[in-house]
Structure formats: structure tokens, C-alpha cells
Amino acid sequence: MLKVHITDEISRLRAVILGTARSNGPVPALEDAYDPKSAEHIKAGTYPKDEDMVREMDAVAKVFEKYDVTVYRPREIENLNQIFTRDIGFVIDDIFIKANILPDRDEEIEAIQYVIDQIPKDKVLQFPEEVHVEGGDVMPWNDYIFVGTYYGEDYPNYITARTNVEAVEALRKAFPKKTVKSFSLSKSNTAAKRNALHLDCCFQPLGNGKAIIHKEGFLVEEEYQWLVDYFGKENCFHITPQEMYDMNSNVLSIAPDVIISEKNFTRLNTWLRSEGFTVEEVPYAEIAKQEGLLRCSTLPLIRD
């Protein structure tokens, strides 16, 4: 029996599902790209190779081993991208929520069904079909649930809009004791530097009252300002459009004072260390080519 438990983004991590890149399949056709960054690399002939991504994910697995975190991996399905486990599910309190993701990706959830089967059935939730939600847009933060969404009526036109306003309402109903705070994100099907695919692509709360944030990722200035006021301007590390594109906000906290980060994030990692964090650096630049990084490729199940 698996008792899942997540109330925030930073408490000591005990169990996690880490994606796999062992059989990612051939380079997608351009028209099948899920996001503008992947499309850029398909066009340029620089789309990441499985063996490079496997090496990167193995480096993360080693860090988890070092910190005694129990790691589950998806059952491998041949020729299927199974890297970004955060998209397919997430935990709030003691409830595992199966995400309603792009229909093309339904198989991915089947690959972690063996984990879900260990959770009591009354602790597994799936929203109705019209509720679109992906884990990269959902951040439990104590009494809050932060949710990235897109308010525009042209929502259906954006393959990069993954969580709709119906999801915000569904989360409010499912967790009535929490305050669900939504943020409309900047979306683009074609310009990766202007596309915040998920909330964790432009914002992430950290331990010690700190946060990483990218102002231009938010469409409504007041919503961005609310986060800055909540954490305090002096505690927010603002990232540039290039750093957002490189996925600097998509790190992963193993504990309030321990963060896994990409080794090339020099400015961020220097700041984190100056603020007293232990930074476990890993190579993840190949995986970043698919517009996802460390938070995207992990699905925390249990934090203390």
C-alpha cells in the first residue's frame, strides 16, 4: 500500500516517479511536435538522442540514490516519449490525481499504472474529460494551490495551453480547504522564448522563502505582482527570456535546502549557493530541448 503525501514543493522527498528515455522513438515529424522548442530542434537536426537523454536521467537517479529517495520508473513502452512524468499525474495532500493530458499521450499513464494500483482506490482522482490539467501547471504550496492556466477564448488554438479554467474550478471543488490561485500564462505555438508551457516554466517556489520567476511568462501583471509580493521582491530570482527558454525555473527541490539543477545554469546556481542551498548539478541540456527539465521529468509521491 502506497500512502502518497505532498503538501508543498520543497519538503524532504521520499518517493518519486522518474521518467525514462530508453525508447523515445524516432524524431517526430515537425507537424507532430507538442511545443515550439521541440519544433526548433526538429528543424535544426539537433533533436536529442535517446542515449544522451538516458545518461542525463541516470545522473538524476544517482542523486536520488544519494539522498535515499525511493525511485519508480515507468514501464517501458517502445517508441514512446515517457520522459515527462509530471504531465501525467500529480499529488495534492494524500490524493493522486490522474491528469487529463493531450489525447496522444494516454499510453504514458498506462506505464505508471502499476504504481497507481498501489494507492488506495479512494485516494485516486480523475477529473471529467472537459477538465484539462497537467502536473507542470499545478503546485501545492501549503494552504494554496498555484495553478497555471490560459484564460483566452482562443485556448483550443494553442497546443501549448494544457490546463484550462475548468481545471481551476475542479481543483477548488476537490480541495475546498485550500485557496486555488490561478495565473494566466503567455502562450505561443511558434516562439519558444515567448511560451510558458507550464507554470513551472516561469515560476518555482524554493526553500528559505525564495522563488524563481520570469515576469514575461505571466499575461496578467497583477498576478505576477501577487507572487512577488507574496515571496518578497528581495527573495525572487528573476530570470531572463533566455534563461526561461533554457528552463532555469524548472529545478527540483529534494529538501528545503537541497536543489537539483542543470550544471549550465551558472547565474542561478551561484545565487542558490549564496542563499545557503546545496546545489546538486546534473547535465540535462538535451532533455531541455523538449521544453521540460527536472521538475517536468519527476512526479513526487511522498514528501515528509
Q: Is residue 213 part of a domain?
A: yes
Here the CATH number for the domain that contains residue 205 is: 3.75.10.10
- Amino acid letter for position 199: L
Q: How confident is the model at residue 174 (pLDDT cuts 50, 70, 90)?
A: very high
Q: Is residue 6 part of a domain?
A: no
Angle at 291 between CA 267 and CA 35, to 5 degrees: 145
Across residues 10-30, what is the average pLDDT?
90
Q: Is residue 5 part of a domain?
A: no
Question: Per the structure, how many domains does the chain have?
Answer: 1
Per-residue pLDDT reduced to its tens digit, 211-224: 999 999 999 999 99
Q: Kindly report which listed range (12-21, 74-83, 137-146, 152-161) carries the lowest average pLDDT score.
A: 152-161
The mean of the pLDDT values for the chain is: 91
Residue 161 burial (C-beta neighbours within 10 Å; 0-12, 13-18, 19+) = buried
Q: Is residue 3 part of a domain?
A: no
Q: Is residue 7 part of a domain?
A: no
**Cα torsion 131, 21, 196, 215: sign:** positive
Beta bridge partners of 70: 15
Give the side-chain half-sphere CA count within 13 A for 199. Answer: 28
Q: Is residue 80 part of a domain?
A: yes
d(CA 89, CA 78): 21
Q: Is residue 125 part of a domain?
A: yes
Q: Is residue 198 part of a domain?
A: yes
Nearest alpha carbon to residue 258 among 239, 281, 235:
281
Q: How confident is the model at residue 155 (pLDDT cuts 50, 70, 90)?
A: low
Model confidence at 102: pLDDT above 70: no
Q: Kindly report which listed range (160-169, 197-206, 232-241) carries the lowest average pLDDT score.
A: 160-169
Q: Kindly report which listed range (33-47, 81-95, 195-209, 248-262) carries the lowest average pLDDT score.
A: 33-47
- Amino acid letter for position 222: E
pLDDT of residue 207: 98
Expressed as residue numbers, the domain containing 236 is 13-303
Model confidence at 196: pLDDT above 70: no
Which residue has cell 506505464? 111
pLDDT of residue 230: 98
Q: How confident is the model at residue 81 (pLDDT cuts 50, 70, 90)?
A: confident
